[in-house]
Amino acid sequence: MLVPSAILFVVIFIAAGGTLLLARCTGSMASVWAANGIAAGAMLTVSKRHWPPYLIAIAAGLLAGQYLSFGLHSPDDLWVPLILVPANLIEILVVAAAIRHYVPRIIEHHTHYLRLGAVAIGATLAACAASTLLAMVTRYFATGDAFLGTANEWFRAHLLGMVIVGTLTLVALRQRGRMLGPPGQRLRMWCEIALLAAITAGVFAQVRFPLLFVIFGPVLYLVFQYRFPGLVVGMAIVAIITNVGTALGSGPFDLIQHASAGERALVAQIFLGTLCAVAVPVALTLADRQRLSFEANASESRYRLLADYASDLIMRIARDGTRRYVSPSVRDILGWEPDEYAASRGSMIHPDDYERVMAVVAQLWLDGIARLTCYRIRSKSGEYRWFEALARVAPSPDHPGEVEMVYIGRDVTARIAAEQALADSELRLRTITDNIPALIAQLDAGQRYVFINAYARTLIGRELPSILGRSVEEARPSVYPTLKPHIDKVLDGKITSFEYHTEFNGRRHYLHATYLPIVNSKGERNGFYTLTTDITKLKRAEQKLAFLAHHDTLTGIANRLAFHNGIELAIQHAAMAREPLLVMMIDVDHFKQINDTHGHAAGDAALREVAARLKTCVRKSDLLARLGGDEFVILCRDIGDATTAEALVRSVAEAMKPPVDIEGVRLQVTLSIGATLHAGATTADALLQRADEALYQVKESGRNGYRLNLGDL
C-alpha cells in the first residue's frame, strides 16, 4: 500500500493547496473543496484494513497543501492548518464508513443505486455538518474567527466537493478504462464532453446574459448517453470552469450588482448544487433502471431455463370444467397434490381475475382459437402467483368424438414483479425529465407549435393538446406582441436571446428565451427552436438578498450592518446641523432564563414581541435595530431637549409592562435601557460607548429600568 498511499498524498496535496491558492490569489472563497471528496472516493475502493495508511497519507496531504497556502499568505499562521486536519478527517471517515456500512459492496447490475444515493447524500450532509461545527469551534478558540464566517466558507464548499469530486473519484477508480467511454464510442464521447466544456466556457466568458440554463442540456445528455462516466466527467468540467470563472470575476454571476467575491461564490455553489440535484437523481434512476432491466432479463433467462428443463403446469379440461388430467408439476409449483387441484375446478383463481378468465374460456370454446392469458392462482400456502397460460382446443384422446381444452401454464410471478419495478423506475425517470426547468419547443415556418415538452404546463399554464398545431399568436395572444420581433429575427436566420415577463395563475413571471433557427440539409430555413426558462426565482432572490442584507431575519427590523450605516450618516448630518443624537442600548432582562425555562422557540417569540412593541414607540425618523442575541438599539434624531429624550426613553421602558403571552404562558419581560443624548460626537463608537456605560449602570442597579446620560449639549 506504500505506492497507492504516496500517490494519494500527492493528489490530496495538489487538490488542497491548489484550491486554497486559487481562493487566496483571487480574493474569493473556495467554492468546491475537492480534497475530501478525493479521499472519501479513494477509501471506498479499498478494504477497511487499508484505511489506516490511507488516512495517514490524507492527513499529510491536507497538512502540506494547507501549509503551502498559509505559508505564502501568512507565515505567522503556519500552525493553523494543523488544527483543521481533524475536522477534514472526521468528514471523510463519516462518509466512507456510512456508505461502506449500508452498501458493503458496489457491484454493477446488483447495487440498488437509489438506496446508495440516499445513503451517500445523508452521510455527506451529516459529515459536512459535523466537520463544519468542529471547524467553527476550533477556529473560534484558536484564531478568533467568527462562527458564521467559518460555517459560510466551510459547509457549502465541502458539501459540493464531496458530491461532485467524491462521485468522480469513486466512479473513476471503479470504472478505470471504461471512464474513456464504451468501446467504439470513445471519440464521440470525448467530442461531446469537449462540446460541454466549450459551452460552459462560453457561458462564463461573457457577463451580459444569465445563460446558465444552457449547461443543463449537455450535462443531462451525457448522463443519459454514458451514465456515471458522463455524469462525473461532465460535472467535473462544469465545476472547474465555474470555480475558475467565478474566482476571476467572469461569467453570469457578475450580473449581480455590487456582489462581493464571497456572494458570487455563494451563487456559484447554488448553481452547482442545483445542477447536481438535477443530474445525480437522473443518473441514479438510470442506473437503477439498468439494474432492473438486468434483473428482468435474468428472470426471463431463468424462466426460459425452467420452460426447457422443468415441467410446466399441464392440464386437460372437459367442456363442463372437469379437470381430467393435472400434471405432477403442480406439486412443485403451487404445493397442491394433482387430485386436490383437479377437484378445485376454478376456485383457485383470484376473485379479481375470475370473470376475465371465464370470458376467455367461453370464447375459446366458441371459436376454438388458441388464447394466451395471464392471471393469478392461489397456492396451497394461501399466496397468489401469476401464471401465463396458453390454452387451445384439441380432440380428446380418452373420449372419442369430444374435444377438450389443453392447458399449459407457467409461473411468471418473478417476471411480473420485475416488470412492475421497471415500470415504476421508468415512471420516476419520466417524471424527472418532464420537470426539468426549461420549456423546449419546435415551431414551423408558420409559427405553429410542432413539439413542446411537458414543462409547458408549468411554465405557461396550458395543456399540451391546446398548444400543438396552433400558432404563437393563437396560443399566447397576451405576449405575442413582445415575442413577434424576436420571431421575425429568428425566421430571418439569426439567433436571439431575450427576457420578458408575463402574467398567469395570478402572478407575474419573468422568463428568459433563446430562439434558434432550423436549417435543413438543403440550407433552407423551415422553422425554429425555442428554449425558455423561468427566472422568476432568480429575480425575486435578488430582491430578497437585498432585503436580508440589511434586516434581521428573526424580527424583521434593521440588523447590525444597517444600524452602523445609519448611525454613520446620522453623525454626519448631526455635525452639519449641530443637533444632538439620542442612542438607546437595550437588553432583555434574564433572556437566558427564558430560553432555558421555556425553550428557544419561546425565546424567539419573546424577541419578536419585544421588537414589535419597540416599533410602536419609535418615530418614522428613528432607527430601530437588533444587534444580535437580546441586544437592541434605537437611534433618534431631531431631539430638542433632555425632557423630550427622557420621555422617549421612558415610553420604551413602559412598552414592556404588559405581560407577553407565549404559547399560553404569560411572561413578564422587562428591559434594561442605557441612553445617551450627545451633541458633537464624531464617531459611532463614542456614542455607543456612552450608551453602553449607562446600560451597565442600569444592570448594576438591578435591571428593569433606564438611565439617560447627557453629553455635551
pLDDT of residue 268: 75
pLDDT of residue 711: 66
Q: Which of 691, 694, 557 is nearest to 628 (CA)?
A: 557
Task: Find residue 584's DSSP bridge partners.
Answer: 634, 675
Taking the C-alpha atoms of residue 358 and residue 352, their distance in angstroms, rounded to an integer, is 12
Q: Strands (DSSP E) along 51-103, which ranges? A: none
Q: Higher-confidence residue: 287 or 607?
A: 607
pLDDT of residue 481: 92
Average pLDDT, the chain: 81
pLDDT of residue 536: 83
As a whole number, mean pLDDT of residues 290-315 equals 62
pLDDT band at 72, cuts 50/70/90?
Answer: very low
As a whole number, mean pLDDT of residues 208-228 equals 81
What are the pLDDT digits (tens) for 564-586? 988 888 888 888 878 888 999 99
pLDDT of residue 444: 92
As a whole number, mean pLDDT of residues 104-109 equals 66
Domains of the chain with bracketed CATH: 2-293 (no CATH), 310-418 (3.30.450.20), 437-535 (3.30.450.20), 550-710 (3.30.70.270)
Instruction: Give, to the nearest 10 degrees, the angle between helix 80-102 and helix 51-73.
Output: 150
Instruction: Give, to the nearest 10 degrees, the angle between helix 186-205 and helix 213-247.
Output: 60
pLDDT beyond 90 at 633: yes
DSSP structure class, residue 164: I
Most confident of 273-287, 288-302, 442-456: 442-456
As a whole number, mean pLDDT of residues 646-666 equals 86
pLDDT of residue 465: 62
Q: Which of 677, 684, 681, 678 is nearest to 708 (CA)?
A: 677
Instruction: Give, to the nearest 10 degrees, the angle between helix 261-309 and helix 413-434.
Output: 160
Taking the C-alpha atoms of residue 615 and residue 706, their distance in angstroms, rounded to an integer, is 18
What are the pLDDT digits (tens) for 342-351? 888 767 889 9
* Global model pTM greater than 0.75: no
Taking the C-alpha atoms of residue 581 and residue 713, their distance in angstroms, rounded to an integer, is 10
pLDDT band at 322, cuts 50/70/90?
Answer: confident
Most confident of 197-211, 281-295, 384-398: 384-398
pLDDT band at 489, cuts 50/70/90?
Answer: very high
Q: Give the least confident one: 96-105, 145-154, 302-311, 481-490.
A: 302-311
DSSP structure class, residue 180: G
Residues with Cβ within 8 Å of 307's Cβ and at least 6 positions away in sequence, in order, are 410
Are the beta carbons of 384 and 341 closer than 8 angstroms? no
What are the pLDDT digits (tens) for 665-687? 888 888 999 999 888 777 888 88
As a whole number, mean pLDDT of residues 364-393 equals 89
| Cα distances (angstroms) measured from residue 5 to each of 87, 89, 168, 203, 374 | 20, 15, 19, 38, 58
pLDDT of residue 681: 75
Q: Which of 26, 168, 11, 167 is nearest to 99 (CA)?
A: 167
pLDDT beyond 70 at 317: yes
Phi and psi for 295 in degrees, rounded to 5?
A: -65, -40
pLDDT beyond 70 at 307: no
As a whole number, mean pLDDT of residues 644-672 equals 87
**Quick one: cell of 367?**
371459436
pLDDT band at 476, cuts 50/70/90?
Answer: confident
As a whole number, mean pLDDT of residues 496-518 equals 86
pLDDT beyond 60 at 29: no
How many Å separate Cα 315 from the centre of its chain? 57
How many Å separate Cα 80 from the centre of its chain? 32
Residues with Cβ within 8 Å of 517's Cβ and at least 6 positions away in sequence, in order, are 490, 491, 493, 494, 495, 525, 527, 528
